[in-house]
Amino acid sequence: MDLRDSAEDQERSLISFYKAQETEWASHLNCKLEGDAAVGEGVNRFFLSKSMTLLQFGFHINFGRMMGHSFIHSGPCISGLSPAITHVLFGGSPETTTIQIEDCPDNDIRTTIQLLEGNAELTKQEEKAVFALALSWDLPGVTKTNRKWLHERLLFHAVISRTSRQVKQLRKGLKETMVWPFLKERADIIPKFLPRTSEAALNFHSVIQRIVWLILEEKEDEDEDECCLEDKCRVAGYLRIFIEKASCAQLKALLQFWTGWELLPSELTLKVVSSNFPKSATCFETLRLPAHYHDYEAFVTDIQACLNSVDTGFGLV
């Protein structure tokens, strides 16, 4: 992948990789970023993390291969897939799956289907909206006798029928990466492969617990200026405050800058050093923060600049 290319060309590079035939997905992964000096395991993490991000929020091509490939190499997983879709994906009957209104991914369609809930009389405008949706899916308009049935059929079509092609493609991609037999044999792994959004969410405590605060560590380089303990403690405190206040999205971006992806490692190493800007050694999961900050707002400005760089660069400011 060439980071000097446009976002569209970078996506084409990913798509071309996952469209390749007869690929041994479990073989050693060795990624290279053109236009960036970064090397090592951190580059692989960046590649897999970007694949999963684009898959969840962007394109939908060869996504089964992407998910299987990332899983094989202990990369990020896709969270938030509907339990109904998961049920059908792994062989459950579409007709017997439990479908909730929250499983419908389209908010406009969801709002229209919700009009049929309960027994309140529909307005002319609401009847028109339901009729237009039902007609587009070859279903009849709403009447007093078919209201509950129509609600169930619209919901089934919105969640199951409209995604059947994507489910087949996902199953095919998982089979090609040889993840499918493993998941079929070990059903207990499926929730880890397709976690719920709430389970994948990061929080302050989970991040703080993994940090190794190397405040009293001696300098590594003889030419490196030594920072006083007061400066180290102050900047480390700024980071702790930032993590306490950060949203889940900000914590994920921080981990991407720190380690190359949003997965929590067993340890996150922090060093406060004499430098101009925050830097990360993703292969070693080490964050180096400058000791010169005497103002929390200035610290946050630079940290946020780093977080904004994770999708366009390799996280080096």
Across residues 151-180, what is the average pLDDT? Answer: 90
Structural domains for the chain: 7-82+164-200 (no CATH), 107-159 (no CATH), 204-307 (3.30.2410.10)
Across residues 145-171, what is the average pLDDT? Answer: 91
Q: What is the C-alpha separation between 87 and 171, in angstroms, rounded? A: 12
pLDDT for 199: 65
Of residues 288 and 261, the one with the higher pLDDT is 288
Are the beta carbons of 31 and 47 closer than 8 angstroms?
Answer: yes
pLDDT for 198: 66
> Residue 78 — very low, low, confident or very high, per pLDDT cuts 50/70/90?
confident
User: What's the farthest any 2 CA atoms get from each other in the chain?
Assistant: 83
Across residues 46-59, what is the average pLDDT? Answer: 77
pLDDT for 225: 58
- Residue 215, exposed/middle/buried by CB under 10 A (0-12, 13-18, 19+)? middle
Whether the pLDDT of residue 149 is over 70: the answer is yes
Of residues 1 and 269, the one with the higher pLDDT is 269
pLDDT for 159: 92
pLDDT for 196: 79
Q: What is the C-alpha separation between 18 and 276, in angstroms, rounded? A: 39
Q: What is the C-alpha separation between 59 and 47, in angstroms, rounded? A: 15
